[in-house]
Amino acid sequence: MKNAKGIPVQLLYNLVLPLIGLASLPVWLAAFAVRPKLAKGLGQRLGFLPKSLRETIQAAPRPRVWLHAASVGEIAAIAPVARQLHDRNPQWSLLVSTMTQSGQEQAKRQIPFAAATLLLPLDFYGAARRVLNVAEPQLVAIAETELWPNFARQVKRHGSQLALINGRMSERSFSRYRRLQPLIRRLLERFDLLAVQTEKDQERFQALGANPQRVKVIGNVKFDVPVETDLEPLRAELRLAPDRPVWVAGSTRPGEEAIVVEAFQQVLAAQPSALLILAVRHLERIKEIQRLLGERRLAYALRSRVAKELLDFPVILVDTMGELAKFYGLANVAFVGGSLMPFGGHNPLEPAAWGVPVLVGPHTEHFSQAVAALTAAGGAQVVTQASDLAQAVIRLLADSREAKRRGGKARDVVAASQGGAVETVEMLQKLMLIKQWAGEVRRWRQESLAQAPRPAAVEKLPEDWPEW
């Protein structure tokens, strides 16, 4: 496929991308100087895996399935899929990649049975090829909207099946991709399966050029969120009295903590014993939040030191990774951040799965389906400012029966919408079988000229193969 001037769009992409990288190099060097952690894993991002990681991947038995999730939020989407894949096919090796170090750490916690975790290579032509030469996966499954032209091209050149799971396409992303439609159309044509969340997502992917026979509406696999049953060790560690009212504000983003703290000061006036458990989305902002709490004269304990603290603080500031879901289980009410400011929102299903009433801001584009279902059922409420937030929290902390009723509605929505992970896994298994069967059929056609016995795989292939 070519642009108006006759230049193949993939070639144009590969010419422009390195130029952008070179132009932004001074910015990245300055960022590395200020925050050296950003440079960690740079070799992996360029396709040069450390020897130990390379040996680990190469030692993993075949077949290998590569699951990719951008960061912490997307790991929540692939974790139930990974668990189902592992339980049903323990002989398969799972490789998990992310775009961020925090996502990689979360992957190790939520998918500990993965053979290896790595950082996705940058979408330069050679980087993706180098990593795929090491990984040699039979199937690559990408979560949500991680659409990388070179990576997808190299996956198919390696003969691997390529799937998008829990796919979504927001209106903003759709508008952006339409400007690059020749490139995006070619990219989407490479996918053997696009398992998307809603019919609207299906329409948008097809409008961008995806093969309609390969786009399947599955639902949001994040509804398959697991919950732990025993919270008593955590409650004991926090020395949390059973009757103490708890508000958890999770995954907050810049600009939201000030609103949450202002609202909490109003909550304390009505409920002096209330506890706020505040979990920012990115831990590198902890010192900034500590300064904010100091300015507002709110005493706090860091989660990492709470076992050593003796005083009864009104705020616990979470400075650890991977515990937010359990904290939601302790809550009487939860606010899910990234939604008061235009960040698109974070996962409201984690508190909902615990039967906790949910509060969100107006910016929830990334979880529009889940928020719509929760609000329609009465399990979630949209707030827009500190006063709204404070009033909603005060009301739910004061009326435990209403909080339990609304929390029950939220949990019912999650339970009624589960099953997407199982259906996704069944489709991924089908892709793996199709690859196996297709190989048998090709060998039969090449070797026999109809003289050898007809393999059973011929009858197993779907009618619309190779379309799906």
Catalytic residue numbers read 74
Contacts of 252 (CB under 8 A, 6+ apart): 260, 278, 279, 280, 281, 337, 338
Number of H helices, E strands in the chain: 21, 14
The enclosing H or E element of 356 equals none
Among 361, 318, 455, 348, CA closest to 411: 348
Instruction: Give per-residue burial for 269-300: e unless 16+ CB within 10 Å, then b.
Output: eebeebbbbbbbbeeeebeebeebbeeeebeb
Distance CA 297, CA 336 (A): 24
Question: Which residues fall within 8 angstroms of residue 280, CB to CB, at 6 or more apart?
Answer: 251, 252, 253, 257, 286, 289, 318
* Nearest C-alpha neighbor of 63 from the set 141, 125, 118, 122: 141
Please give the order of strands across the beta sheet that includes 246-252.
300-302, 315-317, 275-280, 246-252, 333-336, 358-360, 380-382
Q: State how far the alpha carbon of 73 is from the alpha carbons of 2, 100, 322, 347, 426, in Å.
A: 36, 11, 11, 7, 23
Supply the DSSP symbol for 213.
G
Give exposure, 336-345, as e/b (b: 16+ Cβ within 10 Å): bbbbbbebbb
**CB distance 65 to 92 below 8 Å:** yes
127: helix, strand or coil: helix
Rg of the Cα trace of the chain?
24
